Amino acid sequence: MPMQRSSPRLAVRAIILDGDRLLLVNAYPAGRSPLMCAPGGGVERGASLPDNLRREVYEECGLEIEVGAPCLVNEFHDPLGDFHQVDVYFRCILRSPARIDPNWQDKEAIVSEWRWVSEAELAEVPHKPDSLRAVAFDADGGPSYDPLEPIVP
C-alpha cells in the first residue's frame, strides 16, 4: 500500500513596503540557506488569515501591520519529499516604525535575518516565490496565482 501524504500546509505572507523597499526574511534556522522570502508563516486553527499574519509578522520581526487585500496564492513543494505548502500573500501597511530591533528574536528562533530591499537589490537576492518581484513592485494588477514550484534547499 502506498504511503499516505499529508495535506498541504497553509501559510500566510506579508508584502510590506517601506517607500521603495520590500521586507524580506531568512526563515532558515542559523541561516543554513541564503533563501529569503516575505515574512509570515503557518496558519493556526481558530484565527482568521489576517489575524494569523499579524501574529506571524510580529513574532518574526516585531512589527505591527494592517493587513490589506490578498495579492497572490503561491504553491511550492519539495519534489524529493512530501513537503507541500500553499502561501496566501496579502498587501500590508506598517502600523509601527520600519526599524527592526537588531536583537529581535522570534519565539521559534527560525528567522536569522531581516532585510529591506529595493527592486534592483531583490534581483541579486536568492528568494521565493519567483513571482515576488512582480507582486511587490508591479502592484497595479489584481490577485495572481503562482503555480507549484520546487523549493530550493
List pLDDT tens digits, range 95-131: 999 999 988 888 888 888 999 999 999 999 999 998 9
pLDDT at 25: 95
**pTM above the 0.85 mark?**
yes
Residue 16 has pLDDT above 80, yes or no: yes
The residue ranking higher by pLDDT, 91 or 6, is 91
Residue 1 has pLDDT above 50, yes or no: no
The residue ranking higher by pLDDT, 3 or 5, is 5
Q: Measure the CA–CA gap between 5 and 8, rounded to whole angstroms.
A: 9
**46: region left, alpha or beta (phi > 0 left; psi from -120 to 50 alpha):** left
Grid coordinates representing 5 are 501524504
b/e code 30-54 from CB counts within 10 Å (16+ = b): eeeeebbbbbbbebeeeeeebebbb
Amino acid at 3: M
Residue 57 has pLDDT above 80, yes or no: yes
- In 1-110, alpha helices (H): 49-61
Structural domains present in the chain = 9-97+106-150 (3.90.79.10)
Residue 74 has pLDDT above 50, yes or no: yes
Spatial CA neighbour of 91 closest among 68, 74, 109, 111: 68
CB atoms within 10 A of CB 12: 27
